[in-house]
């Protein structure tokens, strides 16, 4: 069994609320959790961990055993097999993000063309910016015409067969030219995913470098295509987030209110769900049933979406989805797509919680399905809210566990609003940020993102890494479950900078009132980080390409295929990217060398793997210092960063 933080710390989670719930249910033999199931799974298959098993054709399954079977039946080597497996993970991750993006565009179309639609364009400025970036005709100047043109263009981007994804032009010129030279400029995401699957079919692409290059291109079509369109169109439809305050952790569940949880990724239904829960008739219905109010809270990235735009409380991140139900306080959990544990359907059988699936793409056996469509979104949302209210009387107050822990956070940052804050009185500008890096008040910046995984003490790596970075004057931006972990740990309160940040970062946080860790949103909002990096280059003074910036990325508790795609699009964009555990390719020395060394010559970014968050922070800081030196910047202003 691999060494991990769970063994070292002896804890399943760094989060006291999660530990409290796990402790409360530990004697219930009918209940299990991701942690128990992970333990039951030990030892995990080493061939799988090393990425050297192949079952893509029926001559297999094959596994590489050095000295016995050095290749598959077809002759595929460990290098080929590991590379193929990895890029298939990228294709699946890119598909998940991008299908999400496509659905958001369909919601935009409903907003424009629907009869009595439940959606409208909320950010016209962003719509115009997107139209300009897409080079689309502004039509008759009317909002609907412009939105139609943007929606048509966005949809066409997904299946783009020829040419290049338009939004890659947001990257610095040098980056774009590098992608062009290396044959990495992506076409439409559908096209890249299909080609990735084709190339990794039995008997097609055999050269691991060539396979991995296609992985990079596929990931770029996600980051600068499907994912970026998802974020931008969501901002157009639901509004670009602005800084706001919210609460986070299981303590947001309320004793006297109907607790409804939304979990998954796509905000189209959860946006109207929030609206439905504020409906006076439904609140009155809840009051009649003995509840004081209707309390909507979120899990995972759906949580981040409605937190960012409405300040809706977050109940928890990925590993807390089962725990929320185990509190016995949740009347209903509504789920859509991605990161929803199949185990939920069994967990709810032990509690009064109703589980409802909503996406046409995701049903669970034995679980009620109330299908969402844009045409009847509000009606569906109201039906689900009502169902949750009706379940309020079934809560067993004797059996519930009520964790007290909840933290305050300031979230709602975007690539636009962060830098309004940082000093752009008359216009958004990255000048103050770049200047802070140039004069050494900030050492640099890091994006810490991604999932939880029971192979690592829950939240520990996220929070320890962030603490270590801010202590060393590295501004942290965060998304996904990592952002939720940091929020729970109190790292998203401006005042935490006074206790935990280095002197330079503290000075900036004090001057502009921001926390040292900025919540940038959900997993698709990693595209905000790409935009932010491009804007930093465009502002000037920090080189001509993303790879020159004193920045890094990290996913210190990663688990999903989406995280693999995200890691690859960051590296392909020139970012040094650190993961706690390697990708499942360790059975191929060549593939490992390519990812941690050779890839840097190709794209300027590379991967590093380090499980200990303090050592990981050290690697990031060393990398940032090298970049500063290469830029000829004086080292950081404050002695400890010297």
74 binds ligand SF4 (CB under 6 A): yes
Residue with token string 């465009």: 538
Instruction: Single out the residue of 464, 539, 474 nearest to residue 506, CA to CA.
Output: 474
Residue closer to ligand MSK by CB (options 34, 617) is 34
Q: Which stretch binds ligand SF4 (CB under 6 A): 54-62, 256-264, 288-296, 592-600?
A: 54-62
Residue closer to ligand MSK by CB (options 339, 470) is 339
Give the number of other Cβ atoms within 10 Å of residue 438's Cβ: 18
User: C-beta of 561: minimal distance to ligand SF4 in Å?
Assistant: 19
Q: Which of 301, 469, 470, 477 forms a contact with ligand MSK (CB under 6 A)?
A: 301
Q: Which two tokens stand for residue 355?
A: 């589980």
CA distances to 104, 106, 248, 274, 302 from 100, in Å? 6, 10, 25, 20, 12
Q: Which of 251, 328, 388, 480 forms a contact with ligand MSK (CB under 6 A)?
A: 480
3-class secondary-structure state, position 22:
helix
Burial 121-131 (b: 16+ CB within 10 A, else e): bbbeebbebbb
Q: Which of 451, 465, 475, 477 forms a contact with ligand MSK (CB under 6 A)?
A: 451
CA 412 to chain centre: 15
Cis amide prior to 43 (ω within 30 degrees): yes
523 binds ligand MSK (CB under 6 A): yes
User: C-beta of 80: minimal distance to ligand SF4 in Å?
Assistant: 8
Q: Which of 318, 392, 460, 583 forms a contact with ligand MSK (CB under 6 A)?
A: 318
517 binds ligand MSK (CB under 6 A): no
Residue closer to ligand MSK by CB (options 456, 522) is 522
User: C-beta of 298: minimal distance to ligand MSK in Å?
Assistant: 10
Chain positions 271 to 300 lying near ligand MSK, rule: CB under 6 A, are 300
CB 273 within 8 A of CB 385: yes
Gap between the Cα atoms of 314 and 301, Å rounded:
10
Instruction: Single out the residue of 536, 519, 526, 532 nearest to residue 437, CA to CA.
Output: 536
CA distances to 112, 126, 131 from 242, in Å? 24, 13, 22
Judged by beta carbon distances under 5 to 8 A according to partner kind, the member of ligand SF4, ligand MSK, none in contact with residue 73 is ligand SF4
Residue closer to ligand MSK by CB (options 550, 582) is 582
560 binds ligand MSK (CB under 6 A): yes
Phi and psi at 206, nearest 5°, equal -115, -25
Q: Which two tokens stand for residue 139?
A: 């039509």
Site string for ligand SF4, 199-238 (x = CB under 6 A): ---x------------------------------------
73 binds ligand SF4 (CB under 6 A): yes
CB 45 within 8 A of CB 346: no
Size of the site for ligand MSK (CB under 6 A): 15
Site string for ligand SF4, 174-203 (x = CB under 6 A): ----------------------------x-
Give the number of other Cβ atoms within 10 Å of residue 85's Cβ: 25
User: C-beta of 59: minimal distance to ligand SF4 in Å?
Assistant: 4
474-479/517-521 β-pairing: parallel
Cis amide prior to 481 (ω within 30 degrees): no
Residue closer to ligand SF4 by CB (options 75, 513) is 75
Q: Which stretch binds ligand MSK (CB under 6 A): 203-211, 272-280, 384-392, 560-568?
A: 560-568
Q: Which stretch binds ligand SF4 (CB under 6 A): 53-61, 171-179, 430-438, 547-555?
A: 53-61
User: C-beta of 439: minimal distance to ligand MSK in Å?
Assistant: 34
Gap between the Cα atoms of 399 and 327, Å rounded:
8
Gap between the Cα atoms of 346 and 31, Å rounded:
8
CA 41 to chain centre: 26
Size of the site for ligand SF4 (CB under 6 A): 14
- Residues, the chain, total? 642
Please classify residue 241 by burial: count the beta carbons closer than 10 Å to its beta carbon, then call 0-12 exposed, 13-18 middle and 19+ buried: buried
231 binds ligand MSK (CB under 6 A): no
Q: Which stretch binds ligand MSK (CB under 6 A): 118-126, 557-565, 571-579, 628-636?
A: 557-565
Residue closer to ligand MSK by CB (options 147, 301) is 301
618 binds ligand SF4 (CB under 6 A): no
User: C-beta of 46: minimal distance to ligand SF4 in Å?
Assistant: 17
Q: Which two tokens stand for residue 35?
A: 């942690």
Q: Which stretch binds ligand MSK (CB under 6 A): 20-28, 498-506, 555-563, 627-635?
A: 555-563
């Amino acid at each position: 069994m691999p060494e991990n933080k769970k063994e070292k710390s002896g804890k399943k989670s760094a989060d006291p609320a999660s530990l409290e719930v796990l402790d409360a249910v530990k004697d219930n033999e009918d209940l299990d959790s991701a942690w128990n199931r992970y333990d039951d799974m030990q030892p995990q298959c080493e061939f799988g961990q090393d990425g050297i098993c192949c079952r893509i054709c029926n001559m297999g399954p094959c596994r590489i055993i050095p000295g016995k079977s050095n290749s598959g039946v077809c002759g595929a080597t460990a290098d080929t097999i590991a590379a193929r497996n990895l890029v298939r993970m990228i294709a699946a991750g890119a598909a998940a993000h991008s299908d999400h993006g496509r659905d958001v565009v369909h919601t935009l179309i409903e907003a424009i063309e629907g009869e009595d639609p439940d959606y409208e364009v909320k950010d016209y400025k962003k719509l115009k910016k997107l139209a300009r970036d897409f080079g689309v005709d502004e039509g008759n100047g009317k909002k609907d015409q412009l939105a139609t043109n943007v929606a048509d263009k966005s949809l066409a981007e997904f299946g783009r067969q020829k040419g290049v994804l338009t939004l890659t032009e947001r990257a610095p010129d040098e980056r774009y030219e590098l992608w062009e030279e290396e044959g990495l400029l992506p076409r439409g995401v559908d096209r890249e995913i299909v080609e990735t699957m084709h190339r990794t079919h039995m008997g097609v692409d055999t050269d691991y470098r060539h396979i991995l290059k296609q992985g990079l291109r596929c990931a770029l079509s996600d980051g600068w295509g499907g994912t970026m369109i998802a974020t931008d169109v969501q901002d157009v439809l639901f509004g670009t987030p602005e800084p706001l305050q919210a609460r986070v952790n299981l303590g947001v569940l309320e004793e006297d209110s109907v607790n409804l949880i939304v979990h998954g990724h796509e905000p189209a239904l959860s946006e109207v769900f929030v609206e439905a829960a504020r409906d006076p008739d439904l609140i009155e219905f809840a009051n009649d049933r003995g509840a004081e109010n209707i309390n909507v809270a979120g899990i995972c990235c759906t949580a981040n979406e409605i937190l960012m735009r409405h300040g809706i409380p977050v109940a928890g991140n990925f590993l807390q989805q089962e725990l929320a139900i185990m509190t016995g306080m949740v009347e209903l959990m509504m789920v859509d797509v991605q990161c929803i544990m199949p185990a939920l359907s069994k967990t709810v059988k032990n509690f009064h919680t109703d589980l409802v699936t909503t996406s046409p793409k995701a049903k669970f056996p034995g679980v009620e399905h109330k299908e969402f469509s844009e045409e009847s979104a509000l009606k569906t949302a109201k039906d689900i809210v009502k169902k949750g209210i009706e379940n309020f009387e079934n809560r067993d107050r004797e059996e519930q566990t009520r964790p007290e822990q909840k933290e305050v956070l300031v979230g709602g940052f975007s690539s636009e609003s962060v830098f309004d804050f940082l000093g752009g009185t008359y216009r958004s500008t990255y000048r103050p940020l770049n200047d802070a890096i140039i004069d050494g008040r900030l050492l640099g910046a890091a994006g810490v993102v991604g999932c939880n995984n029971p192979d690592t003490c829950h939240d520990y790596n996220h929070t320890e890494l962030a603490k270590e970075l801010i202590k060393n004057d590295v501004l942290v931006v965060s998304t996904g479950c990592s952002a939720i972990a940091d929020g729970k740990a109190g790292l998203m309160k401006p005042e935490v900078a006074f206790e935990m940040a280095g002197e330079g970062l503290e000075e900036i946080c004090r001057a502009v009132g921001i926390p040292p860790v900025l919540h940038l949103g959900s997993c698709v909002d990693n595209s905000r980080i790409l935009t932010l990096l491009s804007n930093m280059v465009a502002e000037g003074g920090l080189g001509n390409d993303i790879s020159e910036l004193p920045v890094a990325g990290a996913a210190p508790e990663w688990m999903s295929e989406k995280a693999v795609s995200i890691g690859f699009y960051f590296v392909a964009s020139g970012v040094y990217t650190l993961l706690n555990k390697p990708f499942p390719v360790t059975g191929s020395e060549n593939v490992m060398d390519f990812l941690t060394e050779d890839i840097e010559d190709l794209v300027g970014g590379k991967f590093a793997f380090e499980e200990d968050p303090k050592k990981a922070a050290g690697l990031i800081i060393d990398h940032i210092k090298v970049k500063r030196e290469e830029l000829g910047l004086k080292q950081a202003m404050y002695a400890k960063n010297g």
